[in-house]
Amino acid sequence: MSLGPIMMDLVGYSLSELESQQIQEGSVGGIILFKRNYKNKAQLVELVREIRSIKPNILISVDHEGGRVWRFEDDFTKLPAMGVIGRIYDEDVNKAYDLAYSCGFVMASELLEVGIDFSFAPVLDLDYGTSKVIGDRAFHSDPNVVSNLAKHFIKGMADVGMKAVGKHYPGHGFVVPDSHHELPVDSREMSEIEFDLIAFKELVDYGLGGIMPAHIIYENCHSDPAGFSSFWLKDILRKKLNFEGVIFSDDLSMAGAKFIPQIEARVDAALEAGCNMVLVCNNPKELQKVVARKYSFQEGLTLMKGNLDAKVFKMDYSKHIQQVKNYE
């Protein structure tokens, strides 16, 4: 079943009348939840039920990476930052692989159980030790280690029924600025950026369901930020890396996206460049400007629908949650 290309956010613990109307629009195919939408698990289950009573096939997502990016605090098992797993890898490879798998399994299990389709995880950026926003969100500074750990994390997710979204393509770890607050510029040559691409390439071949590009200009490759660049999305990601999954924009209300002043033009540019679904969050006025517009439906988005494997969940959850709790 086809879906519209807009992923919107919500203001509170339940739907407002305006949000209920917006979800009914053909343009809206997804919802992303934030910490402000979570009070407790019972409230979250009711919110998901409320959303699906309006549009049953809508995608519901969250940023649930582990460490400091963790939206649902109570009643959900807290995962370590992925950089913790990378440090364990340097001491004990097999222990790190086991923990990465268990983290993916537990994260996916607990979200699928309450009706959330997927998390925007894992981070595939490299830890260069310079970025204000990445840091220990990255597994490691070595792309081969990132790839190997992410494979185990993604396998844990997949075994219980969830697709993964790798971010922030082609790599956010090198630049210092935070694209939430400004538009970073990466001055490296393509030959250097290809080092960051190693993990993305390996995981495309491994069956990554979605990819989120960065709001960064790689000025020696293309003049537009990656999420608005047909060079990065069509020429490199689709044609060279043979990625066949879903491309999600990062939030188009971030400062890094506002090199195009008008939100309508921003959405059009991201879709034209190759994004399949665009996030419009944390700015209700901008959201209101785009939800009533007409967009082409996106057939491939249903790839990201979650489907809890109840048998695997029942058999293995307790084992993996114990592994996560014992990680220290």
> How many domains are there within the chain?
1
Q: Does 250 qualify as catalytic in the annotation?
A: yes
Is the pLDDT at 196 greater than 80, yes or no? yes
140 part of a folded domain: yes
How far is CA 313 from each of CA 65, 76, 163, 185, 195, rounded to the nearest angstrom?
A: 20, 15, 15, 43, 36
State the pLDDT confidence band at 328, using cuts at 50, 70 and 90: low
Q: In the prediction, which pLDDT does 73 show?
A: 85
Burial 104-140 (b: 16+ CB within 10 A, else e): bbbbbbbbbbbbbbbbbbbbbbbbbeebebbbbbbbb
C-alpha 104/C-alpha 114 separation (Å) is: 16
C-alpha 165/C-alpha 104 separation (Å) is: 12
For 149-175, the pLDDT digits (tens) are 999 999 999 999 999 999 999 999 999
C-alpha 210/C-alpha 220 separation (Å) is: 26
Q: Could you tell me which of 62, 183, 146 has the C-alpha nearest to residue 111?
A: 62
Q: Annotated catalytic residue: which of 125, 250, 251, 316? A: 250
Report the run of H or E that residue 284 belongs to, with start and end.
Answer: helix 284-291
For 52-110, the pLDDT digits (tens) are 999 999 999 999 999 999 999 889 999 999 999 999 999 999 999 999 999 999 999 99
Determine contact, residues 29/54, Cβ cutoff 8 Å: no
Q: In the prediction, which pLDDT does 255 show?
A: 82
**Better-predicted residue by pLDDT, 265 or 205:** 265
27 part of a folded domain: no
Q: Could you tell me which of 27, 33, 28 has the C-alpha nearest to residue 11?
A: 33
14 part of a folded domain: no
273 part of a folded domain: yes
Q: Does 316 qualify as catalytic in the annotation?
A: no
For 260-310, the pLDDT digits (tens) are 999 999 999 999 999 999 999 999 999 999 999 999 888 789 999 999 999
303 part of a folded domain: yes
DSSP helix/strand/coil, 6: strand
| Number of Cβ within a 10 Å radius of residue 11 | 14
For the whole model, what pTM was predicted? 0.96
What residues make up the domain containing 198? 79-325
63 part of a folded domain: no
DSSP label at residue 233 = I
Determine contact, residues 218/193, Cβ cutoff 8 Å: yes
Burial class (CB within 10 angstroms; exposed 0-12, middle 13-18, buried 19+) of 238 = middle
Q: Annotated catalytic residue: which of 63, 180, 222, 224? A: 180
257 part of a folded domain: yes
Which tokens hold the place of 89? 């890898």
Q: In the prediction, which pLDDT does 57 show?
A: 95
Length of the chain: 328
For 221-252, the pLDDT digits (tens) are 999 999 999 999 999 999 999 999 999 999 99
Q: What is the CATH number of the domain that holds 217?
A: 3.20.20.300
271 part of a folded domain: yes
Mean confidence (pLDDT) of the chain: 95
Determine contact, residues 61/113, Cβ cutoff 8 Å: no
